[in-house]
């Protein structure tokens, strides 16, 4: 579980630093998927 949280933090950081809109959408999608995974495992 801790690994998921660490990856989520990295993705959020990448999202805010990213300037490419297409890549930003992909990162946001990954963030949403990991967030759902966290909710399902709790």
- In whole angstroms, give the CA distance from residue 42 to residue 35: 11
Instruction: Report the chain's terminal Cα–Cα distance, integer Å.
Output: 9
**pLDDT score of 2:** 82
pLDDT in tens, 5-30: 899 999 999 999 999 999 999 999 99
Assessment of whether the complete model's pTM goes beyond 0.75: yes
- In whole angstroms, give the CA distance from residue 13 to residue 20: 14
**pLDDT score of 22:** 97
pLDDT bracket for residue 1 (50, 70, 90): low
């Amino acid at each position: 579980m801790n690994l998921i949280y660490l990856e989520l933090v990295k993705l959020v950081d990448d999202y805010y630093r990213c300037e490419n809109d297409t890549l930003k959408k992909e990162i946001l999608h990954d963030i949403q998927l990991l967030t759902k995974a966290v909710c399902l495992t709790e």
